[in-house]
A and B are shown apart, each in its own frame.
Chain A
Amino acid sequence: MSKTFTTTFKVLIRDKGVLLWSVLFPLVLSTLFYSMFNKLDAEFQLDPLPVIIVADENYHKAQSFATLVDGLSGGGAAAATDDTGGGGGDAGALLSVTFVDTQDQALQLMASSDSELYYLGYIIVDSDGMPRYAMDSRLASGLDTFTTIKQSIVLSILDRYIQDYELITAIAASEPQLFADPDFIDTLLLQQSYTFRGSITANPPSDALRYYYAVLAFTCIMMMNFGRLAIDNWKASTSPLGARRALGSYSWVHSLAPTLMAAWVLSMACATIGFLYIRFGFQISFGGKEPACLAVLAASTMVSTFLGALLGAVTIPGGAKSGISAFIANFLSLFAGLYGPASQQLGDFIAREAPILAAINPVRQVSDAFFSLYYYDSYQRFTEILITLGIMVVVFFAASVGMMRKQQYKSL
């Protein structure tokens, strides 16, 4: 039995065609996703907005504004003369402030800014203590979506400050006695928040994850090639090689068990490589539940091994089987959202309207398993999916073994 196991393992791992589609193709696909989504994610991420503030006499007089700036920049504002070139501050800072002494210096710095550190504009405090924002004229034409958002944020901050400032100044002018009341002062200074920010999922949502989980699920099911090839070489009715092996002096169970075992072990190993590549190569999160992910890989590769064995046991030309397995994996991946928003919407629609179809789609199930691990605190959904995959294993195993236990054929 061990000889059959090692031989099958060698044969499968040396088959370049199968390795290409089962291992290399998913790795390349996930790398492509990474190159696409990494840039996309960076653009969606709001980094501290680089602005210049003219720290002249007026600015220093407007203490309340200076305090606001200090708060928004996380106390990390830098002078233009710093080696860092500005942009300091802590991770939670909204603004990345660079101070200059004069308006001319601000204009000069803005003109010299480049794509790496692009100042949106500069803020100067007028003689009335009001901050004024001057946008870079180059931004006036052709603002992209993200720059517009950033501009809006800066303007919103300044508007809010000016409104508060004028409100307090007006109250002070009309009813100065109110400022003698400590409760009024407290109410005035209270930063009331009327909305609660929370998360209903264990980890923050990410659109890109869906692609990675789908590609990993696709990889697992694509491993059916190993089962297919192993049985193609094993069954007497599918190849001369199989016919020769069928004449061995050991029972078909002794021969079949190590053959399928080798196919599964190799599938699991290859799927694990794909998983590690995505998890640690691209730092894609699986909710910190890596051991559970391995359980998903084990179950899904078992499904694909028996699905492949079933395909391998059917008497059709080997080349056609390769095409059929590629079609099955790609077709099922369509409903797991591998091919973009349209396929994701289609997959979600089917999951809502015909959940049984989603349930019998192993690619969808594997993808959902990773989702459940990432988003849910509970393992309930994950367990349900594992049970579903287990049922698929039993069904495919029974069907494939049913076809393979036959030792005599009407024709070869």
Chain B
Amino acid sequence: MSMHGSSLEAKLVILGSQGVGKTSLVMRYVQNTFSPHSASTIGASFLTQRMQVFGVIRRGYVDDCRVVLQIWDTAGQERFRSMAPMYYRGANAAILVYDITSEQSFQDISSWVEELQRNTGDIDIHVVGSKLDLAEKSREVPQERAQAYVRNTLGSLHDVHEVSAKDATGVDELFHDVTRSLVERTYEIERTRRERQAGDVQLRDGRQEASDQACCNV
């Protein structure tokens, strides 16, 4: 992730089981389209989306930030024989998608979370339940359960997102939250680094004095 003034480029990877609607989600967001039959993703496909996040606090000021999101949309089946690291390597954020009408796809989420936590530094994880439009007819995963899981695993500030690529419910909000979270984290990292650097300088100055004294004692 790199920042130039108030702009930021970040890599976002979309993961989840086969057929949960990862591509449909991305297509709804990037092109605002939906097709009931979208071809299976082979390997991965890549899209870029530019957006702007307003009103983030940076160095004590309210700031706007331009973000270029590099979206890596992966094939669901890659999970099993683990081509996946190639795709999530270097990602700043991950969207883990399950299908609210498929208990199995929700079960698969936890192994994704574990794998990402084990193999990546501090990737920002978001859990998303798709196909919300089918909730009344065939929901298998209650929202409360998903929410409890997310809070337990990722922390109390995290929420599960339920979305529908078909009728667009929640999609823009999801990507907006993801992007805002990326920007905030980046500023946070930046702030910590600045503080640490300031600390380093003081430390070095202290040593300097010590050695000066040592010098005088000789």
A and B, one complex? no
